[in-house]
Amino acid sequence: MTRTRFDHETVLDALALACRAPSVHNTQPWRWLVGDRSVHLMADPARRVPATDPDGRDLLISCGGALHHLEVALAAFGLRARTHLLPNPAEPEHLAAVRVHPHHTDADDIAMVTALTNRRTDRRAYSSWAVPTGHLDLMARRAADLGVIAVPVADAVQRHLFARAAAAAAREQETNPAYTTELAFWAGRGRSTVEGVPVGAVPARRVDVEGVPMRAFPAGSLAPSPTGEHERDSSVLLVLGTADDDGIAWLRAGRAASAVLLTATDLGMATCPMSQPLEVPRHREQIRDAVLDGVGHAQLVVRVGYAPTSAAPVPQSPRRPLAEVFAYLPGMAPTRHRVIGDAPG
């Protein structure tokens, strides 16, 4: 399928899918502005969680994931995105400008957008099934296509060092009253919420994966996975790294995280983005040194593996109504069937 026009219904459908991206504490810290032939991603600084994310890195990684989700959605609709990151240095909240070109939708595009609708953050224990090396290689290639390395925590020494740093980061955050208050505000919400982490998506008891703690939310009702009492969790931790440590690098890391998550979902795996091990600077450096050989900057950890076949599905986390997160640029009347413009050739 190839489209040559960027119409109102297409852009709304694509934005709705883009907003399915995961974000820190499900804050959904993005806004979208729709122009005649473009879509603009804006940061929403009011949704930054300062105790968790003091430098705004998690916020931009979250927005980068939404940006990649938009690119995936557009490709499925027959439109190729041409993306310019941080296009206006004088306006740091303007994170990306996306223009579209005609694109022939192929099977990979359909597979990725299907994965987008099926992806869930699964914070439970996974099964003992090993992740094939070929799957890890594919995820690493797709991250590399976006300028990011995806390095598995491969051996026992790395795993020990990673687990020690992750546990120390968790303890440091959990003794900070500002962090615990912030987490309590965003987590453990009921069914009627449109933001934050719902109680039904949080395990009823804290999960420790081979010594690596998952973030401890204040409330949860999700039943544990039906793994055997002594079954080993064979999930793999992928550390996403970038050469630089600035806004563009953070956005690239978010795009790559989205690519890894959607690829893993398409391959039938469960996934969970993990930012907590990297939210305390000195422990982030320890993980960088252990896993990335001290080169570059660790930006996010993505856990991938296989959920037990009898595990109950994870409920879909809520999203804010689309009308709350997008607006038209001046002169763009929101007429339902209006054609926004010919896609540039």
The reply to whether 123 falls in a domain is no
Per-residue model confidence (pLDDT) at position 341:
43
Q: How far is residue 159's CA from residue 140's CA, in Å, rounded to a whole number?
A: 19
Is 310 part of a structural domain of the chain? no
Do 153 and 294 share a structural domain?
Answer: yes
Given a cut of 80, whether residue 114 has pLDDT beyond it is yes
Question: Looking at the domain assignment, is residue 127 inside a domain?
Answer: no
- The model's pLDDT over 18-57, given as tens digits with 9 standing for 90+, comes to 999 999 999 999 999 999 889 999 999 999 999 999 999 9
Does one domain contain both 195 and 287?
yes
- Output the pLDDT for position 230: 63
Q: What pLDDT shows up at residue 257?
A: 98
Report the mean per-residue pLDDT for the chain: 92
What's the pLDDT score for residue 276?
Answer: 98
Query: What is the domain range of residue 206?
Result: 133-305
pLDDT for residue 168 is more than 70: yes
**What does the pLDDT read at residue 334?**
59
Q: Could you give the angle at which helices 156-174 and 281-291 cross, rounded to 10 degrees?
A: 170
pLDDT bin (cut points 50, 70, 90) of residue 229 is: low
Same domain, 212 and 335: no
Query: Taking the model in full, what pTM does it have?
Result: 0.94
- pLDDT tens for 174-185 read 999 999 999 999
- Spatial separation of the C-alpha atoms in residues 84 and 87, rounded to whole Å: 6
Proportion of the chain above pLDDT 70, given as a percent = 94
Contact 197, 186 (CB under 8 A): yes
Q: Which residue has the tokens 């440091």?
A: 172
The whole-number pLDDT of residue 191 equals 72
Question: Residue 339 — pLDDT band, cuts 50, 70, 90?
Answer: very low
Clarify whether residues 270 and 143 are in a common domain. Answer: yes
22 with 164, same domain: the answer is no
CATH of the domain at 32: 3.40.109.10
* Percent of the chain at pLDDT exceeding 90: 82
Cα separation, 143 vs 255, in Å, equals: 8
Is residue 165 located within the same domain as residue 264? yes
**Pair (250, 137) in one structural domain:** yes
CA distance 186 to 201: 13
In whole angstroms, give the CA distance from residue 54 to residue 63.
16
- pLDDT of 166 > 50? The answer is yes
275 and 169 fall within a common domain: yes
Asked if residue 86 and residue 189 are part of one domain, the reply reads: no
pLDDT at res. 340 = 42
Q: Are 102 and 168 in the same domain?
A: no
Count the neighbouring beta carbons within 10 Å of the beta carbon of residue 118: 14
Give the whole-angstrom CA distance, residue 101 versus residue 79: 6
HSE-up of 263 (CA within 13 Å, CB side)? 22
pLDDT in tens, 241-287: 999 999 999 999 999 999 999 999 999 999 999 999 999 999 999 99
Count of other CB atoms within 10 angstroms of residue 117: 11
What is the number of structural domains in the chain? Answer: 2
pLDDT at 66 over 90: yes
Over the chain, what HEC string results? CCCCEEEHHHHHHHHHHHCCCCCHHHCCCEEEEECCCEEEEEECHHHCCCCCCCCCHHHHHHHHHHHHHHHHHHHHCCEEEEEEECCCCCCCCEEEEEEEEECCCCHHHHHHHHHHHHCCECCCCCCCCCCCHHHHHHHHHHHHCCCCEEEECCCHHHHHHHHHHHHHHHHHHHCCHHHHHHHHHHEEECCCCCCCEEHHHCECCCCEECCEECCCCCCCCECCCCCCCCCCCCCEEEEEEECCCCHHHHHHHHHHHHHHHHHHHHCCCEEEEECHHHCCHHHHHHHHHHHCCCCCEEEEEEEEECCCCCCCCCCCCCCCCHHHCEEECCCCCCCCCCEEEECCC
The confidence band for 338, taking pLDDT boundaries of 50, 70 and 90, is: very low
Q: Distance from first CA to last CA of the chain, Å, rounded? A: 16
Give me the pLDDT at residue 185, please: 95
Which pLDDT score is estimated for 6?
Answer: 66
